[in-house]
Structure 1
Amino acid sequence: MQEMTGIHPTEELFSHFFNLTQDYLCIAGYDGYFKKVNPAFIEFMGYSEEELMASPIHTFIYEKDQHRTATSRKGLTKGSPLLHFDNRYTTKSGEIVWLTWTAIPNEDNQLVYAIARNVNHIKKKEEERNAAIANLTQLNKELKRLSFTATHDLKSPVNNLISLFHLLDTSEIKNEENLLYINLLKESSENLRDILNNYVDTIKKKNTSLHHKEQVCMKQVLQATLDPIKYLIKNTGTTFHIDLDQASTINFNAFCLHSIFLNLISNSIKYARPGVPPVIQITSSNKEDSVQVSVSDNGSGFDMEKASGKIFHLNETFHDATDSKGVGLYLVNDYMKSFDGEIQVNSTVNQGTTFTLTFPNQ
């Protein structure tokens, strides 16, 4: 029967594949016209087979992609294959669709054999992702500008306050207690100025300092954190039990560690139980491939079940304090994640809270 029809079995198999595949198969001539297209491509384009072969191929290509496609086509006519080339086609209904092409030229018969797939959904996702990246980039710029503005604007009244202290003639003040308070205010103002300057310097480094790891001495950073708040510690009767001897250094970032210590310690003081002086314990230990630091207090604690899944979210608060904004723990968690670290928390109402920080050695 095959001999009677004159159709070779291989040609018959190719014909079935050509007609049944859902990929778009096309045979085009070096003259720029389709010579044969499969049913899937015909259905996709919405034109009849006769219409597709009657007009130059470039007329079906989206106008903005025509020049780029023509440039790539020149390589085909010189014998170079075209691999994973993306361009847009316009269907008869006017829809613009992204296709990705692989084409092989045959110089002997001046034909190009091509296969294409619809990648419109992938391009849409890429566009959404690029839009999201652009939005995040803009948001980051705005946040950086806000940080500059807030820090700069705060520096002016602080410098003004320091200037007033310098103008003040303390020799006329006979009350030693008042003189002590004035000196304390002056010292606190100068500490605040130094902190603001440090923030500005960090921002100016285009965030590189926040991603730079170094060997950090935890005792030094902790001491630098406690000094500016020593009078808050004294007035609240806060007691510290510190043991960082087992693991005194970590591979981290000094600026970020300072912020972590400051947030956790200030929270322990802020959320102390009424009438119970805060007791804060800070310890370290070496693990197999990391260093663990524990920060514990005897404060008011919170309900772990109610706070589950929200503890480190932005703007989440678990106490009624008016100055509680839900930012501190979010920052602590963000710093830890930035360096592949981990933070865990355990808390019991009216007993206290323990934060366990894990710093990878590498």
Structure 2
Amino acid sequence: MQEVSKDYDLEMFFEISEDFLCIAGYDGYFKRVNPAFLKALGYSKKEIFSKPIDKFIFPEDRTRTNTQREGLIKNTSLFHFENRYVTKNKNIIWLSWTSIPLAKDKLVYAIAKDITFKKQMEEERYHLLSNLHKRNKDLKQLSYRTSHDLRSPVNNIMALIDLMDISKIEDEDTLELISLLKLSTEGLKINLNEFVDDISQNDHGLLISLEELNITKCLETVRKSINYLIDCSNTTFKINFLDVNTVKFNKTYLESIFLNLITNSIKYTKPNHSPAIAITTKKIGNDIQIIFTDQGLGFDMDKDKKKIFGLNEKFHHHADSKGVGLYLIYNYITSLRGEIEVESKINEGATFIITIPN
């Protein structure tokens, strides 16, 4: 390898470098700085050499910087040390230093990079995460309070049903309605209790519980809870769980997924048509797929594909539409490392393919 000539102008590296280069003395004064450093701070050479280095450092960083400087004087090199400098215009810039002491000359040779933009991004990220944490905490408290407070009226409804003397009721349709009302209320109470338990566990840092679930049983629990809605809408089901009928998942999540998909299919069925729902399962390698298909209004995938699982997104005119169900489904699945895809055409229904790692 050819050695660089000693006559080569190495001074140009100092003059043209975009990084900040400087030489400082053990006495705490700059001895030399490059043009990039002067430009960043906004001082002249006369100004930069006439004051101790401490005068240019942000006050809160001076003690920390002096501690590191003492190490340099003891012949300990410094790498990736970050501190703040104040420019002549009173702006604050962040610098990351690499400093090498030369004890025999009592000098420190240093290179600094301007990391102000990086620090601003980190600060913005910190504030965003802090705000997100607060919003999540507030939302969790609201959910806890709402679900907890709802248990009282639900218990009251159950008590009123129990007080009814059904022996005096002879009409079979009325008896069936009372039975359905009691069943739905009991289901609501169970769901509320499970929801409150899940929130309470998460407050203590516990993970969402997973268990081996019978898919058929979870689906039947949901169908019973909305049996009246299914009957009134003449909804038909085609179920095929022969390939696989168990999955390791959260019970509350799976039942909520079925509940939201079924009620959406009923809500957004085509005019003058009865809802028809097909649910099948497949084993794909180590993963399990639940495939849910309806014959409803469908989606305009060219227009709405990226918005389908967004919060408060609505795609059809319906008085009861809140734009929350699909958002919840997406978060239930992805929070447990699963995936969900949609295939759909307008007025040709929709197919939701849920992939759950097992």
Task: Give the TM-score of the pair, scaled to structure 2.
Answer: 0.90
Aligned to 2:249: 252
Pair 1:181 & 2:177 matched: yes
Q: Structure 1: which amino acid aligns with 2:30? A: F
Q: Deviations over 1:160-182 (max 9, x none)?
A: 21122233333443444433322
Aligned to 1:193: 189
Give 1:241's match in structure 2, choosing from 218, 238, 241. 238
The CA deviation at 1:273 is 3.0
Q: Structure 2: which amino acid aligns with 1:327? A: V
Cα distance in 2 for partners of 1:247, 1:303 equals 32
Cα distance in 2 for partners of 1:11, 1:91 equals 37
Instruction: Report 1:1-362 matches (<5 A).
Output: 10=6, 13-206=9-202, 211=208, 213-361=210-358
- In structure 2, relative to structure 1, the CA distance for the partners of 1:183 and 1:308 (3 Å cut) is closer
- In structure 2, relative to structure 1, the CA distance for the partners of 1:252 and 1:186 (3 Å cut) is closer
Q: Deviations over 1:313-350 (max 9, x none)?
A: 22222222210111111222222333343322233444
Q: Deviations over 1:286-311 (max 9, x none)?
A: 22343222111233334444434322
- In structure 2, relative to structure 1, the CA distance for the partners of 1:179 and 1:213 (3 Å cut) is closer
Cα distance in 2 for partners of 1:324, 1:63 equals 56
The CA deviation at 1:98 is 0.7
> Is contact 1:210-1:256 (8 Å) kept?
no
> Is contact 1:216-1:252 (8 Å) kept?
yes
Q: Structure 2: which amino acid aligns with 1:56? A: P
> Is contact 2:202-2:208 (8 Å) kept?
no
> Larger deviation: 89-98 or 274-283?
274-283
The CA deviation at 1:91 is 1.3
- In structure 2, relative to structure 1, the CA distance for the partners of 1:27 and 1:212 (3 Å cut) is farther
- The count of aligned residue pairs is 354
The CA deviation at 1:147 is 0.8
Q: Structure 2: which amino acid aligns with 1:31? A: D
The CA deviation at 1:12 is 5.9
The CA deviation at 1:193 is 1.1
Cα distance in 1 for partners of 2:249, 2:177 equals 37
Aligned to 2:68, the other structure's residue is in SS state helix
> Is contact 1:238-1:279 (8 Å) kept?
yes
Cα distance in 1 for partners of 2:303, 2:179 equals 45
Q: Which runs of 5+ in 1 are unaligned?
A: 1-7
Q: Structure 2: which amino acid aligns with 1:205? A: Q
Give percent identity, aligned residues only. Answer: 47
Cα distance in 2 for partners of 1:210, 1:256 equals 13
- In structure 2, relative to structure 1, the CA distance for the partners of 1:326 and 1:78 (3 Å cut) is same
Cα distance in 2 for partners of 1:354, 1:330 equals 16
The CA deviation at 1:250 is 3.1
Q: Structure 1: which amino acid aligns with 2:67? A: T
> Is contact 1:210-1:253 (8 Å) kept?
no
Task: Give the TM-score of the pair, scaled to structure 1.
Answer: 0.89
> Is contact 1:211-1:338 (8 Å) kept?
no
- In structure 2, relative to structure 1, the CA distance for the partners of 1:303 and 1:98 (3 Å cut) is closer
Cα distance in 2 for partners of 1:51, 1:80 equals 29
Aligned to 1:162, the other structure's residue is in SS state helix
> Is contact 2:65-2:83 (8 Å) kept?
yes
> Is contact 1:27-1:35 (8 Å) kept?
yes
